[in-house]
Structure 1
Amino acid sequence: FNLQSVIAQDDIMPAEKKGEFLNSGDSDLARALDLEICSQSDVFVPAIPGMFYGNVAGKRIASGLTQILVPAPVVGGSAQASDFVSTYITKKSHFAYSCYC
């Protein structure tokens, strides 16, 4: 995720404020933006397993956005996207299912 390219491409703030924001060093704000963007995107592909992945998956499940694909080696030369769906979705193993579904 490249925060600068998202800000530049999507124009979420006025141009004169971009430099101030990007140079602020506010890692909490960057993490909050990462969480929001990953939670609302069409498809989420987690970079690594962990708390961030679990939190994004929970927010996505709660809002009905169940397109979560987990990177894995392709066996046999070809694969379908459905072969890479997160077990949070296929097995309904995320705790969000007990709260929201």
Structure 2
Amino acid sequence: MKKMIVIAALVAGLGSFGSAMAAGDAAAGKVKAAVCAACHGANGVSANALWPNLAGQKADYMLKQMKAFKDGTRKDPLMSPQAAQLSDQDMENLAAYFSSLK
């Protein structure tokens, strides 16, 4: 029984370690977000109802959407070209930054 608990704890710990390694750098995302501010606002809150607020959005959701714009699964005349210029690390950093805002 003790052995099972130790194994379960190790497996759980490895899972959280992998999540931490995949997380973006919010500080780097803030620098990259200067371009996003034109539509999504300086603090991720858009002044125009046509463009969504990014502040406080879930990082996983944002990452999925940016990847969809980049790979063409989701299309938008403004976002698709912007996402095409982003690396995977850029997207993780932006997602970390905007999800950290309230």
Question: Greater relative contact order: 1 or 2 (C-alpha under 8 angstroms, separation 6 or more)?
Answer: 2
TM-score range, shorter chain: under 0.3
Normalised to the residue count of structure 1, the TM-score between the two structures is: 0.25
Comparing both structures, which one devotes a greater share of its residues to helix?
Answer: 2
